[in-house]
């Protein structure tokens, strides 16, 4: 929380990360994928409160070794922040990108718009 009682901008990123991890784990999406880029727009101040906010996530693009997610932190009628996250499939041994396996590509496309 910042001095004005708003949820701090860094907390928005944590909310997005938690939602992304939950989405992937709930669908059995494995492998090593890293965030290559995160662009976030803070649209409306989110005041600190006890009630949860909703984070909606969907896939907007699936490439050979990367994919893009769109996130919104929102209530029913208010979007507090909107983000685009580019993720890259990553090989831990070589420390380089790797092609997405076909089963992951299918799952990502199923999560798309």
Mean pLDDT of successive 10-residue stretches along the chain, which has 113 residues: 79 95 87 93 93 94 96 96 97 94 90 77
List domains and CATH numbers for the chain: 9-110 (3.10.129.10)
At residue 4, the pLDDT reads 72
At residue 27, the pLDDT reads 87
pTM strictly above 0.75: yes
- What is the DSSP-derived secondary structure letter of residue 101? P
State whether residue 89 is helix, strand or coil.
strand
At residue 2, the pLDDT reads 63
Q: What contacts 106, CB < 8 A, 6 or more positions away?
A: none
Q: What distance in Å separates the CA atoms of residue 113 and residue 107, rounded to the nearest whole number?
A: 13
Alpha helices (runs of H) in the chain, residue ranges in sequence order: 9-26, 102-110
Instruction: Tell me the Ramachandran region of residue 42: left when phi exceeds 0, alpha when psi lies from -120 to 50, beta otherwise.
Output: beta
At residue 3, the pLDDT reads 62
């Amino acid at each position: 929380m910042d001095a004005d009682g708003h949820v701090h901008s860094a907390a928005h990123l944590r909310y997005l990360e938690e939602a992304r991890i939950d989405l992937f784990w709930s669908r059995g999406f494995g492998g090593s994928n890293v965030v290559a880029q995160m662009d976030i727009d803070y649209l409306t101040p989110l005041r600190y409160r006890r009630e949860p906010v909703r984070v909606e996530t969907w896939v907007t693009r699936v490439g050979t070794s990367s994919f893009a997610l769109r996130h919104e932190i929102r209530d029913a009628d208010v979007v507090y922040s909107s983000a685009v996250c580019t993720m890259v499939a990553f090989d831990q041994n070589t420390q380089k990108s790797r092609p997405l396996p076909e089963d992951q590509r299918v799952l990502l496309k199923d999560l798309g718009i």
